[in-house]
């Protein structure tokens, strides 16, 4: 069963991208001038969880310099790092993109998408409407505390690894090994695929 969706409104991010920047990035897209592959993890357990994830997919596709190439199935998962039953369950998915944005600019866009979906950072491991996390970026390894690449806990999180494997079974987590091997080793209890739900790949 595929959910029916309301008409999506424009992404209410705060500052518009200057027209000259849009033109330059779109030109890079059209000529495939050094595009990079990135892996984005989506999750949320407040509000309309499926609609929020779809809104993030659509907002990524609407970003100059970003093209969504694959969207995983939706998984319902138990909250991470909190007592059982203390929060609603999460919906999670993974998105593969090609992008001409550098990692820092992509992170800024991820935060803007979260804020547009009323993400509140009130407590560590607290419930949230939407997470948009950069899991990996073209094999880059970085210890920058602002954006550590690959995501420092992606290799141990089934709710990231399982949908990532769905969209790219040959993927590698830099410095950690193949996603296939990591999926085989991780505890997948509490990670349930929701075949009754679907995220649309932007046209």
Q: What percent of the chain has pLDDT over 90?
A: 67
- Which of 58, 133, 166, 168 is catalytic? The answer is 133
- Which of 119, 157, 166, 168 is catalytic? The answer is 119
- Which of 131, 157, 166, 168 is catalytic? The answer is 131
Read off the tokens for 32: 């495939």
Whose tokens are 């998915």? That residue is: 93
**How confident is the model at residue 34, as a pLDDT?**
79
Compute the distance between CA of residue 176 and CA of residue 103 in angstroms, rounded to an integer.
20
Examine the residue annotation and report whether 133 is marked as an active-site residue of this protein: yes
Read off the tokens for 72: 């995983």
CB 18 within 8 A of CB 65: no
CB 19 within 8 A of CB 27: no
Residue 117 confidence class, pLDDT cut points 50, 70, 90: confident
Closest CA to 58 of 123, 13, 119: 13
Examine the residue annotation and report whether 195 is marked as an active-site residue of this protein: no
- Which of 49, 58, 109, 128 is catalytic? The answer is 128
Read off the tokens for 34: 């050094």
**At 11, phi and psi to the nearest 5?**
-70, 120
Examine the residue annotation and report whether 29 is marked as an active-site residue of this protein: no
Residue 90 confidence class, pLDDT cut points 50, 70, 90: very high
Q: Please state the pTM of the whole predicted model.
A: 0.80
CB 29 within 8 A of CB 130: no
Helices 103-116 & 49-61, crossing angle to 10 degrees? 140
Helix ranges, the chain (H)? 19-30, 49-61, 103-116, 158-167, 179-185
CB 129 within 8 A of CB 46: yes
Interval 119-159: pLDDT, tens: 655 555 568 889 999 999 999 999 999 999 999 999 999 99
Q: Where are the beta strands (DSSP E) in the chain?
A: 36-44, 66-71, 75-77, 90-99, 131-137, 172-173, 177-178, 191-193
């Amino acid at each position: 069963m595929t959910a029916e969706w309301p008409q999506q409104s424009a992404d209410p991010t705060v500052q518009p991208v200057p027209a000259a920047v849009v033109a330059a990035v779109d030109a890079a897209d059209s000529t495939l001038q050094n595009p990079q592959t990135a892996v984005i993890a989506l999750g949320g357990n407040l509000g309309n969880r499926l609609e929020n994830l779809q809104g993030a997919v659509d907002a990524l596709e609407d970003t100059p310099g970003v093209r969504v190439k694959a969207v995983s199935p939706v998984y319902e998962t138990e909250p991470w790092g909190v007592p059982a039953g203390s929060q609603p369950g999460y919906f999670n998915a993974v998105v593969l993109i090609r992008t001409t944005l550098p990692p820092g600019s992509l992170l800024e866009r991820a935060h803007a998408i979260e804020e547009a979906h009323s993400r509140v950072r009130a407590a560590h491991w607290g419930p949230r409407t939407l997470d948009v996390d950069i899991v990996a970026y073209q094999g880059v390894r970085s210890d920058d505390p602002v954006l550590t690449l690959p995501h420092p806990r992606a290799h141990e999180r089934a709710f990231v690894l399982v949908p990532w494997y769905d969209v790219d079974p040959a993927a590698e987590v830099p410095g950690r090994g193949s996603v296939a091997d990591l999926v085989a080793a991780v505890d997948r209890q509490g990670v349930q695929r929701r075949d009754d739900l679907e995220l649309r790949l932007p046209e």
